Amino acid sequence: MNARDAQVADSPPTLRARRLGLYAQHQSIAVMRTDCHVCRAEGLASRSQVLLSAGGRQVQAVLYQADGDLVAPGEAALSESAWERLGVAEGAPIEVSHAPALDSLASVRRRIYGHRLDAAALQAVVADVTAGRYTDVHLAAFLTASAALPLDEQETVDLTAAMIDAGERLTWNAPVVVDKHCIGGLPGNRTTPIVVAIVAAHGLVMPKTSSRAITSPAGTADTMETLAPVDLDLATMRRVVDQEGGCIAWGGAVHLSPADDIFVRVERELDVDTEGQLIASVLSKKIAAGSNHVVLDIPVGPTAKVRTEEAADRLGDRLIAVAAHFGLAATCIRTDGSQPVGRGIGPALEAHDILAVLQNKPDAPGDLRHRAAVLAGAALEIGGAAEPGAGYALALATLADGQAWTKFQRICQAQGGMREPPRALHIRPLTAARAGRIVQINNRKIAQLAKLAGAPEAKAAGVTMEVMLGADVGIGQPLLQLHADTAGELAYAMEYASRNPDIIEIAT
Amino acid sequence: MNARDAQVADSPPTLRARRLGLYAQHQSIAVMRTDCHVCRAEGLASRSQVLLSAGGRQVQAVLYQADGDLVAPGEAALSESAWERLGVAEGAPIEVSHAPALDSLASVRRRIYGHRLDAAALQAVVADVTAGRYTDVHLAAFLTASAALPLDEQETVDLTAAMIDAGERLTWNAPVVVDKHCIGGLPGNRTTPIVVAIVAAHGLVMPKTSSRAITSPAGTADTMETLAPVDLDLATMRRVVDQEGGCIAWGGAVHLSPADDIFVRVERELDVDTEGQLIASVLSKKIAAGSNHVVLDIPVGPTAKVRTEEAADRLGDRLIAVAAHFGLAATCIRTDGSQPVGRGIGPALEAHDILAVLQNKPDAPGDLRHRAAVLAGAALEIGGAAEPGAGYALALATLADGQAWTKFQRICQAQGGMREPPRALHIRPLTAARAGRIVQINNRKIAQLAKLAGAPEAKAAGVTMEVMLGADVGIGQPLLQLHADTAGELAYAMEYASRNPDIIEIAT
């Protein structure tokens, strides 16, 4: 067959770009009219994967079709993700065609059928994921295949490397760069600002990037933001770290392991955690952040991410082994994950706990101080600032003598100035329905309660715990306080509590 | 914890329903403002799964958020699927809350980790899928898990039963009800109308429901629609079948195995075919349609769905075994899948081929006649209208003596009146670039070419083949003709052909 008879078409017809103002996370969406001539000519239908091209840039998107007034003739309306990736102006001409077939999907299919993937295959998968070329169907298939036949150590190493390579990688002008991470999170477990202050007070470099909450009532970045600016660009981060040895910045401004955010969203929707993906997720971010020493906090408890000590040990061993492939020295610390940490759950409420510990207030939550000192102690030891076994005591001493508080204030100043965390307008207790002993605290439901009260969007909202496991309570005694900015949110949280009597269980 | 202090919230605040006019196939979408008070109160974020409630009906949807003018304050804008399922009027009050956790996802997770599912678990999965409660992530995980560890025969039986139970089930007042199905499809393989005419001419009952094209240039319903109305409700179908013994109707008006359409879309996106899913897909539709005898056409070829004879035999054996569990007698016929069937590819072009065969025209495509007679012969035999081995000859005789043509005309009349298939305005040949022998015809690319020319939306558009495998051609000789309604579509198809010289391969 030849082109002799083929009257080669002119360059494909274009549509006018329109910003739809539609937020769909990483998902790029294009909306075009059902009667659009490009849809007809290209054979595009609703939910087709399309390639948007403009000004030399290309973005893959899912197509939805619309009739009525939603999209005008000749327009292609784009979601925010598509709009930003394509970088067009309102009304600019864009071309729309069928998205090309993705070669890396052949690897996904091979993995489904039980074949292991090599480094090159995983690099190609992660590159396509990072570029937004995988649909939810493709992402879920890859992650499911990696769960059905778990990633082995080599695959985990290769996936980690691919995830690092897909994003930015920071370097620091210091021989020892320390990081920490908590596996799975625990309400109120906001040790990071305290750990950074202690570690940096001893001259170690700890350029900490943290996340904002996605499904939790507060991320470290949300909490820290009530104390100082966290939205630092890389230049500012470098200046703060050069000056103070440490920072507590939001990681979103630097693009470390961007595939991770995409995988995590799908894993959450699937509620499937695979060890290999978890390890690649955690370590790729740490390695990309330029650290060579990391302390990993693994909370264990019935409603924590890791539920048994055996699972924690196995996960810890695998984390250390994979980290070693990248020259990253990891220490895993198994901690109590049976109840929330500290008193506050919610950005500002957690910040108040942090300040109480740093300022040696008499009512500072002892569990938060203890945990922060354990983790800081381990960091001091692996960083060479404390002899083995002496880290914990040194960390506590650094809190007690005010050095950590001084360092924390200096870091906040360097990040843009210290702030006073806000207080909520509405506070109301939830009380014990009967006398007895606290035998169970459901971390997930406590977190949900704090979110219904408004956290993390409402910085001051959340929960403060009035009891811990093992405490004896009398009837009517407060179990926790709800903090909210509006009466409506308070009512929402109260209503949830009334429907869920097992948030805190009392045995008589 | 008690409700004493819980000021139980009034019923959740409502939003006003708005019809967005957005087409997203089965996917239900709700668009709400980023500053929506319900999002804030419920903790809903973009891509949350939400439950829409109105007038006693509930629909699960994915939430996208928008700012700007897209959605007015107090509104929830719904995609067509959400709008239809919810059945609300413009401006009607709807409640929006977090979608409840799906218990059946625990079964999906168990399946991912290698546990087989029993009938009750599969019933629950399929019920949730049918109700639109599974996201693409959930669907892909289920299908991937069923591919990584293939469904065994019992699971395939249980899945088939669950898919039947999820939809309507037809019954016919006849001891023998015959059906046919082609596995995977092949361009131009439009034997169904011919088979129905032959079989019904011999007094057997064949109430055929067919699909429209989804990704192909024509479905049987699209082709048949150029000859007679196919959008029959169940009462009309019954009347036609009572009167003529057979019908060729669009299956969309009756809801047979509705989960199948949802699974098929995801399998296509994943490009993963699993035998168990394929069997459940095919058999659930046939059994739900009330047939107790089925002839299965399994085309085998390098660009067909089934690529080797061994695969066809294994698939056939499994199909027969699973069908037997439901009292369905299946006959599998392995056919040549190496090239398109007949001459035309596209709704009207295929209809012209069908008419040529039924009318015994001298230029009728012999391969289409042969295949239709083979399948009709098998149907006559399993239906008891022909002795074993005598079906093919009887089918040919029924064509030759005009009985099939008479019956076909009567069926068309009963369905609402016979029509003349249209002809395209623009016809242009693609010619051989060199002399030689046709050694390969790529079914998938031929189908794509027909779609670019406008099929199936443009009924007259598509491709007519001028050569078959093994033919010798001279340079410049036409290989196929492109048919299009517009010059633009013709140009598109020509351009595709010029970029794909391997659509038809010529060896010198």
Q: Mind listing the pLDDT tens digit for each residue in A286-332?
A: 999 999 999 999 999 987 889 999 999 999 999 999 999 999 999 99
Q: What is the pLDDT, as a whole number, of residue A10? A: 44
Q: What is the pLDDT, as a whole number, of residue A6? A: 33
- Which of A142, A120, A116, A117 minimizes the C-alpha distance to A129? A142
Distance from CA of A504 to the nearest CA of B (A): 7
CA distance B427 to B490: 8
Cis amide linkage into residue A456, ω under 30° from 0: yes
| Mean pLDDT of the B30-47 span | 85
CA distance B256 to B250: 11
| Mean pLDDT of the B220-235 span | 95
Q: Answer whether B243 touches A (CB < 8 Å).
A: no
B325-382 pLDDT per residue, tens = 999 999 999 999 988 899 999 999 999 999 999 999 999 999 999 999 999 999 999 9
CA distance B295 to B204: 14
Tokens 């016809």 sit at which residue? B427
Bridge partners (DSSP) listed for residue A49:
A62
> Is the CB of A137 less than 8 angstroms away from the CB of B64?
no
Q: Chain B interface, mutation test: which of A4, A5, A79, A83, most B Cβ atoms within 10 Å?
A: A5
> Is the CB of B498 less than 8 angstroms away from the CB of A3?
yes
Q: What is the pLDDT, as a whole number, of residue A259? A: 93
- Say which of A118, A152, A242, A273 is annotated catalytic: A273
| Mean pLDDT of the B426-432 span | 95
Picking from A46, A144, A270, the nearest residue to B25 by CB comes out as: A46
| Mean pLDDT of the A61-86 span | 93
Instruction: Sketch out chain A's domains with CATH numbers.
Output: 14-98 (2.40.40.20), 103-149 (no CATH), 178-257+267-415 (3.40.1030.10), 426-507 (3.90.1170.30)
Counting residues of chain B whose pLDDT is more than 90, the rounded percentage is: 78
A328-346 pLDDT per residue, tens = 999 999 999 988 899 999 9
Q: Answer whether A105 touches B (CB < 8 Å).
A: yes
Picking from B22, B65, B479, the nearest residue to A64 by CB comes out as: B22
For residue B136, what are the CA distances in angstroms to A266, B47, B129, B273, B331? 10, 12, 10, 17, 35
Please check the confidence at residue B296 and state whether its pLDDT lies above 70.
yes
- Say which of B165, B242, B273, B336 is annotated catalytic: B273
CA distance A471 to A367: 15
Please check the confidence at residue A12 and state whether its pLDDT lies above 90.
no
Counting residues of chain A whose pLDDT is more than 70, the rounded percentage is: 97
Tokens 């029509």 sit at which residue? B419
Q: What is the pLDDT, as a whole number, of residue A11? A: 52
End-to-end CA distance of chain B: 85
Q: What is the pLDDT, as a whole number, of residue A13? A: 75
- Which of A490, A13, A279, A377 minimizes the C-alpha distance to B41? A490
Active site residue A271: no
Predicted confidence band at A177 (pLDDT cuts at 50, 70, 90)?
Answer: very high
Bridge partners (DSSP) listed for residue A330:
A294
Please check the confidence at residue A156 and state whether its pLDDT lies above 90.
yes
Higher pLDDT, A297 or B38: A297
Q: Answer whether A475 touches B (CB < 8 Å).
A: no
Please check the confidence at residue A211 and state whether its pLDDT lies above 90.
no
Cis amide linkage into residue B456, ω under 30° from 0: yes
Please check the confidence at residue B450 and state whether its pLDDT lies above 90.
yes
One-letter amino acid at A429 equals P
Q: Which of A325-329, B22-26, B97-101, B360-364 has the lowest mean pLDDT?
A: B97-101
Q: What is the pLDDT, as a whole number, of residue A248? A: 96
DSSP single-letter state for residue A351: H
Q: Chain B interface, mutation test: which of A4, A116, A133, A136, most B Cβ atoms within 10 Å?
A: A136
Please check the confidence at residue B459 and state whether its pLDDT lies above 80.
yes
Predicted confidence band at A9 (pLDDT cuts at 50, 70, 90)?
Answer: very low
Predicted confidence band at B253 (pLDDT cuts at 50, 70, 90)?
Answer: confident
| Mean pLDDT of the B438-455 span | 90
CA distance A75 to B464: 34
Please check the confidence at residue A455 and state whether its pLDDT lies above 60.
yes
For residue A403, what are the CA distances in angstroms to A351, A396, B241? 18, 10, 90
Distance from CA of B81 to the nearest CA of A (A): 12
The percent helix, strand, coil of chain A (3-state, each to 5) is: 40, 20, 40
| Mean pLDDT of the B55-83 span | 93
Please check the confidence at residue A3 and state whether its pLDDT lies above 50.
no
| Mean pLDDT of the B125-153 span | 95
Predicted confidence band at B499 (pLDDT cuts at 50, 70, 90)?
Answer: confident
Structure tokens at A34: 């059902």
Contact list, B105 vs chain A (CB under 8 Å): 270-271
Counting residues of chain A whose pLDDT is more than 90, the rounded percentage is: 78
Predicted confidence band at B11 (pLDDT cuts at 50, 70, 90)?
Answer: low
| Mean pLDDT of the A399-413 span | 98
Q: Answer whether B134 touches A (CB < 8 Å).
A: no
Contact list, A269 vs chain B (CB under 8 Å): 135, 137-138
> Is the CB of B489 less than 8 angstroms away from the CB of A41?
yes
> Is the CB of B497 less than 8 angstroms away from the CB of A1?
yes
Predicted confidence band at A68 (pLDDT cuts at 50, 70, 90)?
Answer: confident
Cβ atoms within 10 Å of A387's Cβ, excluding its own: 10
Q: What is the pLDDT, as a whole number, of residue A1? A: 34
Picking from A20, A40, A491, the nearest residue to B457 by CB comes out as: A40
Q: How many contacts (CB atoms, under 8 Å) link A and B? A: 247
Please check the confidence at residue B10 and state whether its pLDDT lies above 50.
no
Q: Which of residues 161-200 of B touch A (CB under 8 A)?
A: none
Q: Which of residues 264-323 of A touch B (CB under 8 A)?
A: 265-266, 269-272
> Is the CB of B269 less than 8 angstroms away from the CB of A137?
yes
Q: What is the pLDDT, as a whole number, of residue B188? A: 85
Higher pLDDT, A42 or B444: B444
Picking from A5, A47, A501, the nearest residue to B430 by CB comes out as: A5
Predicted confidence band at A418 (pLDDT cuts at 50, 70, 90)?
Answer: very high
Predicted confidence band at B269 (pLDDT cuts at 50, 70, 90)?
Answer: confident
Picking from A46, A269, A504, the nearest residue to B135 by CB comes out as: A269
Distance from CA of A1 to the nearest CA of B (A): 5
> Is the CB of A1 less than 8 angstroms away from the CB of B501?
yes
Contact list, B454 vs chain A (CB under 8 Å): 40
Q: Which of residues 327-386 of A touch B (CB under 8 A)?
A: none
Q: Which of residues 43-82 of A touch B (CB under 8 A)?
A: 43, 46-47, 49, 64-70, 79
Higher pLDDT, B27 or B397: B397
Contact list, B34 vs chain A (CB under 8 Å): 23
Contact list, A147 vs chain B (CB under 8 Å): 112-113
CA distance B203 to A278: 63
Q: What is the pLDDT, as a whole number, of residue B492? A: 83
| Mean pLDDT of the B167-175 span | 92
Predicted confidence band at A100 (pLDDT cuts at 50, 70, 90)?
Answer: confident
